[in-house]
Structure 1
Amino acid sequence: MLNNLKTKKVINACFAISMVFLCSCSASFTYNNLSWLSSFWVDDYIDLNKTQNKQLKQIINTTQAWHRSTQLPAYKQDIQNIKSLFNSTLSTEQLKKQVVFAKKHWQNLLEYAHMPLAELGASLSSEQRGELLSNIQKQIDEEREEFNEQTPLERKNDRLEEQIEYYEKWVDELTNDQKALIITANEQHKDSKSLWLEYKQNRLNVAIEIFKNKNLTQNELIAQLSTVIKERERYMSEALLKTNEENLNLYINLLYQLNTTLSDKQRQSVNDQFDELIDTLNDIIQS
């Protein structure tokens, strides 16, 4: 069970894998058509010209080829390792190490793609830059408005409902004792949404200042944009980093506790979920 959550971390670590599990189409179809699917997403933010569209598709295709050959096998191995840990005697230290390791998958993607994405950003006209920044700001404002529409209690209750639903997906049916563990962890969890919104705004503000700076050479512009794309933690507050760490420890402890309560039937359900994830990755790698 604890590894199942870890698996979610792995899946969410990469946009390609995330899309696979969010889309109703087959995993292979979705992954293999990321180029045109991504175009729909980009269109929500900015209108690219013909040359820029070609540049974007090249970035996506090159990144996808690299991702299929290097990252998907790594995800698969990661899940297999987690499954093995899940079926052996676990410690919270082992589990945390695996979770932290999984979080690096997303950073690997940024490390690979940040420079060509920055070069594309540097090619934008003043009008395109304004359009992009305005649409990102609009998205942040909408998230903030949605966040403020709920009370802290409503947000906590919604999170609990999502947590119960998620864990039941993996173990089929939770016992009352297991639900009690999840409820306790949810009560202790610190809502970091406002801090994440602050981080997003900080990062956007830096991008705005970069695009505004008329004194930058093309190379300097690309270098600074690449930093904004790649170095996410640079724009996170100490409060957010601290809260993330505290919530991570809560998460690890919950998984460890739940793992000790699983029945044979529940443990088999979790193993089935792991096998399904591995089969899905095999299908994508081989397609």
Structure 2
Amino acid sequence: MPNIHRTIVLLALLLLLNSCSLMRLGYNNGPQLAWWWIDSYLDFNREQTPRVKQAIHNWFSWHRVTQLPEYADWLASVRSQIDGSLTSTQVCSWSEQLQHMLTPAFNQAALLAAPLVPQLTASQLHHLEQRFSKSNSELRDNFLQPDLNERKQASIKRTTKRVENLYGDLDRRQQHLIAVSIENSPFNPEAWMIERQRRQQDTLRTLRQFINEKNASTEEIADSLQKIIEHTHRSNNPEYRAYQLELTEYICDFIARMHNLTAPIQRRHASDKLKDWEMDMRTLTAENPINPTKQLQ
């Protein structure tokens, strides 16, 4: 379930990577998209469906009014600082701010989901386990190619696409920086996959505990869900947490160095992009909130 909570939140936030009109369309259709995604993981039965759909609607209604304005302000703050050079410390500070901003959204998802957990069945947890396995297989195909050169080229392609989405077309120096940074990156996909599978097993154990112990309070369940979500970002495995910190510092340094290689026209492209996203956040906030009593079809 915590992976699913994260999906609800990221579904809204990843819309920031699309064009502004698509972002508004995607967010306004977020409850339906979130339902399809979550149901693919847990295969809800007829009795569970109305309550799950209502929880999704409630989350989006709350999120639109209380969270989007903060995201818009954050985008405006970042945009005001990108005309000049950046340091890795600045970039890491933005990352920390973003994590702090996302925490209420994850916590709210856990609170809304907690009453639903005891209704889950053993067969649904088996379905969830199978869905985890399928997702892991897909990620292995994308990140753990047996041929190391193929793996590196796929990583370069992903990174280039993300950078170009913000800055526009890249020159040879910038493309070279990406290639060198990927070559020297501490990112370890094998360790990442092992940690991912460990968290998945923690999730399954937690859910089994609560469907077998029907007397657990909603607060107790929500607290456990929040802890698992938190461990996704800050691992409770000390060795892996140290790796997370190392990787974060490396990525912050890469982003700063990439930005400092950009030309004025590229920085204007990035500023315009952030401005579009900011205005979309404000437009979505001003629109009529999703009706929390409306049921998904």
**Mapping 1:27-42, distance limit 5 Å:** 27-42=23-38
Cα separation, 2, equivalents of 1:76 and 1:269: 18
User: 2:292: which partner in 1?
Assistant: none
Mapped partners of 1:31, 1:186: distance in 2: 32
- RMSD (Å), alpha carbons: 2.9
What is the deviation of 1:170? Answer: 2.7
Distance 2:143 2:169 in 1: 30
5 Å-filtered alignment, 1:108-257, equals 108-144=104-140, 147-213=143-209, 216-219=213-216, 222=221, 224-233=224-233, 235=235, 237-257=237-257
State, as a whole percentage, how many aligned pairs show the same letter. 20
| Structure-2 change in CA distance of 1:254 and 1:59 (3 Å) | same
Q: List per-residue Cα deviations over 1:101-148 (Å, max 9, x = no partner).
A: 112333322111113213212211232232223322332244346544
Residue 64 of structure 1 and its aligned partner are, at CA, apart by 0.9
Gaps of 5+ in 2: 1-7, 288-297
> Is residue 272 of structure 2 the alignment partner of residue 275 of structure 1?
no
Letter paired with 2:216: N
| 1:63 lines up with 2:63 in the alignment | no
Q: Normalising to structure 1: TM-score of the pair?
A: 0.82
Amino acid corresponding to residue 188 of structure 1 in structure 2 = N
Give the partner amino acid of 2:57: N
Residue pair 1:190, 1:247 contacting (<8 A) in 2 also: yes
Residue by residue over 1:1-43, the C-alpha shift from the partner in whole angstroms, topping out at 9 and shown as x without a partner, is xxxxxxxxxxx97331214646997322221222222221123
Deviation per CA, 1:244-287, whole angstroms, max 9, x where unpaired? Answer: 22222222222322333332222222212112212222332223
Gaps in structure 1 of 5+ consecutive residues? 1-11
In structure 2, relative to structure 1, the CA distance for the partners of 1:272 and 1:40 (3 Å cut) is: same
Structure 2 length normalisation: TM-score? 0.80
- Residue 262 of structure 1 aligns with which residue? 262
CA contact (8 A) 1:47 1:128 kept: yes
Residues 24, 52 of structure 1: alpha-carbon distance in 2 compared, 3 angstrom cutoff: farther
Of the three residues 80, 89, 94, the one matched with 1:84 is 80
* AA aligned opposite 2:133: Q
